[in-house]
Chains A and B, each alone.
Chain A
Amino acid sequence: MKPTIVVVGNGMVGYKFCEKLISKSSAYQIIVFGEETRRAYDRVHLSEYFAGKTAEDLSMSSASWYADNGIQLHLGDAVQEINLYQKKIHTQSGLVVKYDYLVLATGSGAFVPDLPGVEKQGVYVYRSIDDLDHIKAYATNAKSGVVMGGGLLGLEAAKALIDLGIQQTHVIEFAPRLMPRQIDAAGSAMLQSKLGQLGLQIHLNKSTSTIEGNGHITGLRFNDDSVLETDMLVISAGIRPRDELARLAGLEVGTRGGIVVNSQMQTSHPDVFAIGECALYEGMIYGLVAPGYEMAEVVAAQLAGTNKLFKGFDMSTKLKLIGVDVASFGDAFISEPACRTIVFEDTHKGIYKRINISNDGKLLLGGILIGEAEAYNMLLQTVNNKVALPPNPEDMILGARGGEQAEGAGVMSLPDDALICSCEAVSKGDICCSVNDGALSLDAVKKCTKAGTGCGGCVPMVKDLIAGTMKANGQYVKNVICEHFEYSRQELFDLVKINKLKNYDLILDHYGKGDGCEVCKPLVASILSSLWNDLVVKQDTIQDSNDRYLANIQKGGTYSVVPRIPGGEITPEKLIVIGQVAQKYGLYTKITGGQRIDLFGAHVSDLPNIWEELVNAGFESGHAYGKSLRTVKSCVGSTWCRFGLHDSVSFAIEIEERYKGVRSPHKLKGGVSGCIRECAEAQGKDFGIIATEKGWNLYVCGNGGSKPQHAQLLAADIDSKTLIQYLDRFLMFYIKTADPLTRTATWLNKLEGGMSYVKNVVVNDSLGIATQLEEEMQLLVDSFHCEWKEVVNNPQLRKRFTHFVNAPTEKDPSVKFESMRQQVKAIW
């Protein structure tokens, strides 16, 4: 019979131990006991449970994984006693199991301070899915909430409360700063102001004396006798290793808790191991998952017959709060004179960065990043691998300024044993090897090495390594469109253009294979429009649904109608028409964020009739459905405003009329402001124009959306004619070279040479293509036609707008509405 290993605890580390052991050896019978009723799940991403992930999504393995691998799993059955001499355990349900080796992976629990009132209703900890279920249920009736503890977990819990819709969320911290273990006072101040913007109220230096309330919590009283009223409390004041079982059995435990282990993870009893958050190694509890996995590796390796020792672990961390980047790495707190520090602080953008370098300037020792932590992975690698610093170490946090990118700073310069994925202990060498062996995509590398499957923080670096290795091997790193076209968008664009192809099937026959798909069809459609500006409805079935029906599809299957209102200017007569149409067809109306009016809830079969009335009143399509120009937002400008320098409305209308209908890789938005006060928010647009004393400033490549970015100055103080010339060139250059669904800002970020390159092409004509770009744009401008007008006047095309092909007058009966504030709202 095989020797038996009993694993106590089915958490992240206990699970990882099983996974590692079965991959190394099949010599053991493994029996696992877990106190929770669920299979091991990803506690690191626990908060995503509130964002819609299910317990199953968070599971570390499939339901059949244990059985498939011959592992006995007992859930909801805690081990209650260990008999070290008879080598037996007793469980809650009464099972008695003999073991040859015992692995304790009991993790930790939340530390709950001994305060009067902690037992009251509405007081929770944040550790398990069950905890989250309770918090969620209670939060439905709570308006305010407090998190006790301003550390890593506390801030995460606080963000979760906000996401649950608790209007007033407070964090109280005993120490004089947030995340006292990771960041310094200056960093904490910056973080505090950032969190304030997220809606969190932070109270430092607060020590709680009582939890008030009658049965359920109503508030917290502090030592200074102040009171903070609250409907609920989440305690996140630290963790406490779950060593109760070990303690009871007589294993050695630390004075402040934790099961004492040596570098082989053996407890005071050599057949009993402890791993993960319950283990105390050299006086330290490692409260992160990566060191826990390393401990699991050490034990699994030994049991499989190889020698491996635990040597401590780097505790660098990156906080995963959405909206604020926070990271600390290496020796974050070391200070002068033991080292030299470089600090960068930008209170305007809320960025604080500090790096500590050795006195001889050669090595990076550690640092802190708040507000912007993109450099984290690279900095961590620089510390861990003792990579020599560049001559200007400040470049590492500021980026190279004024010229060439700092040489040798890339991932490819790291040593082979550099640990890239600390969750799964995957080195640079492992990743490069797997690429050399044919894993050429992120998914393939993930499958091969497991890199990037834990917290995911290393994914950008893994991608860079894949691209770098392929490049070094002379493999062409290609951005192919999909399985049907082995070309990038730009390549296909050129092929279609040179060969004057105008039809999707023909292009597929010439340059592709198979029958196309939902990726390449709309992409080719966009290329065709950008080149020839043919009517999109002519090849309607290669268009995305919105372009096919010339309207945005909504929940429930109805469509929205957005007539163009150039520059946001509209006559009372036209406003009345919109109102009448909405009334007649029962549409919900709303002023959009783009200075026009959206009419929602139209049945597909009503669309042609609605548009017929709008077209007759002089409206045109607003292309709200297309990857094309949306709106050019204007401010009122010099005609009315006392500050206005030029007539921004007229110019916005002129620009919107010029580029309306032009198809592009992604949508385009513009803005024109009459002065530097910038009421049109032009710098948040793909192109923005601001009046100056001498003319106009032209800014490009800005956007709002999920990753807002300000537009950058392309040319200053130019006249209207030059501006349109530059804009023609800029837009056409973008249209021709951007990847599909890439906004101008993202395109610029990826463009080698960045803004100075764009300036050179557009303003200095460095490629000698300026005239060509202008001509191509002029062709598009001249060939504009209102798609809706064409449809309205073409009975053949109108016929397409029906729900039932065999009952054209009937509407989709599954569409239902209810009323809300005197308008309709779809039920779905």
Chain B
Amino acid sequence: MEVLADIEWVLACYADDVPENGGACMKHGDEQIAIYNFSRRGEWYATQNLCPHKQQMALSRGMIGSAGEGCEPKVACPFHKKTFSLISGDCLSGDDYQIKTYPVKVMEGKVYVGIA
């Protein structure tokens, strides 16, 4: 049996509010969510904004890029450059951290983040 999670799509911003190949931070209640405009690949991602390493609200200000042969999309925290997969949220720098990821869709120039 398939369970469809109830996803609420929240309007975050306009697509051109987020710099190309960069991120921006959205406020959703008390939550801070980082949204990434991976324009080089025409993709959008979203994760928690808090870096689990030293609890800094910083990931949206990090640099994005890819890792490995499979070109796993990733973000590097600006503080100590720990990197995280934008797909799985796994820490790619060898530590046991895990960050939350969210689905993103863009319609008519508007960016929506899916919150379960």
Partner-B contacts on A (CB < 8 A): 483-484, 505, 514-518, 520-522, 540-542, 544-545, 548-549, 553, 555-557, 799-800, 803-807, 810, 812, 814-815, 828
Across the interface, do B81 and A518 meet the contact criterion of CB distance under 8 Å? yes
Across the interface, do B65 and A517 meet the contact criterion of CB distance under 8 Å? yes
Across the interface, do B26 and A483 meet the contact criterion of CB distance under 8 Å? no
Across the interface, do B56 and A515 meet the contact criterion of CB distance under 8 Å? no
Known contacts A545-B78, A555-B56; 19 additional CB pairs below 8 A are A484-B65, A505-B21, A514-B66, A515-B65, A515-B66, A515-B71, A515-B73, A517-B65, A518-B65, A518-B83, A541-B19, A541-B64, A545-B62, A548-B61, A557-B57, A557-B58, A805-B26, A812-B32, A814-B32
Across the interface, do A541 and B76 meet the contact criterion of CB distance under 8 Å? no
Residue of B nearest to A804 (CB): B27
Contacts of B71 in A (CB 8 A): 514-515
CA distance A36 to B11 in the complex (A): 57
Interface size counted on chain B using CB atoms at 8 A: 38
* A542-B18 CB under 8 A given contacts A557-B58, A804-B26: no
- Which 5 pairs across A and B sit closest by C-beta, in order of nearness? A545-B78, A541-B22, A518-B76, A517-B65, A515-B66
Contacts of B99 in A (CB 8 A): none
Contacts of A800 in B (CB 8 A): 19
B64 CB → nearest A CB, Å: 8
Across the interface, do B67 and A805 meet the contact criterion of CB distance under 8 Å? no
Contacts of B38 in A (CB 8 A): 515
Contacts of A520 in B (CB 8 A): 65
Residue of B nearest to A505 (CB): B40
* A805-B17 CB under 8 A given contacts A515-B65, A518-B76, A542-B63: yes
Residue of A nearest to B50 (CB): A814
Contacts of A549 in B (CB 8 A): 61
B74 CB → nearest A CB, Å: 7
Residue of B nearest to A517 (CB): B65
Contacts of A810 in B (CB 8 A): 27
Query: What are the interface flags for B68-105 relative to A under an 8 Å C-beta threshold, 1 for contact and 0 otherwise?
Result: 10010110101101010000000000000000000000
B11 CB → nearest A CB, Å: 8
Partner of B22, one of A540, A799, A807, A812: A540
Contacts of A542 in B (CB 8 A): 21, 63
Pick 7 A–B contacts, CB within 8 A, sort by A. Answer: A505-B21, A516-B66, A517-B65, A518-B62, A522-B63, A553-B79, A557-B56
Interface presence of B13 (CB below 8 A):
yes
Partner-A contacts on B (CB < 8 A): 11-13, 17-22, 24-27, 32, 35, 38, 40-41, 55-58, 61-68, 71, 73-74, 76, 78-79, 81, 83
Residue of B nearest to A545 (CB): B78
A-B pair count, CB < 8 Å, reads 95
CA distance A522 to B78 in the complex (A): 12
Residue of B nearest to A813 (CB): B30
CA distance A664 to B49 in the complex (A): 31
CA distance A544 to B40 in the complex (A): 18
Contacts of A828 in B (CB 8 A): 55-56
Residue of A nearest to B28 (CB): A806
Partner of A517, one of B13, B26, B27, B66: B66
Across the interface, do A541 and B27 meet the contact criterion of CB distance under 8 Å? no
Contacts of B25 in A (CB 8 A): 803-805
A31 CB → nearest B CB, Å: 31
B98 CB → nearest A CB, Å: 19
CA distance A556 to B58 in the complex (A): 9
B52 CB → nearest A CB, Å: 14
A797 CB → nearest B CB, Å: 10
Contacts of B11 in A (CB 8 A): 806
B24 CB → nearest A CB, Å: 4
Partner of A805, one of B35, B68, B73, B74: B35
CA distance A542 to B58 in the complex (A): 16
* A814-B57 CB under 8 A given contacts A517-B76, A541-B22, A806-B13: yes
CA distance A804 to B34 in the complex (A): 9
* A545-B61 CB under 8 A given contacts A518-B76, A804-B25: yes
Across the interface, do B78 and A483 meet the contact criterion of CB distance under 8 Å? no
Residue of A nearest to B55 (CB): A828
Residue of A nearest to B76 (CB): A518
Contacts of B65 in A (CB 8 A): 484, 514-518, 520-521
CA distance A805 to B66 in the complex (A): 24
Across the interface, do A518 and B63 meet the contact criterion of CB distance under 8 Å? yes
Partner of B21, one of A541, A557, A806: A541
Across the interface, do A807 and B27 meet the contact criterion of CB distance under 8 Å? yes
Across the interface, do A517 and B40 meet the contact criterion of CB distance under 8 Å? no
Contacts of A545 in B (CB 8 A): 58, 61-63, 78
CA distance A516 to B25 in the complex (A): 22
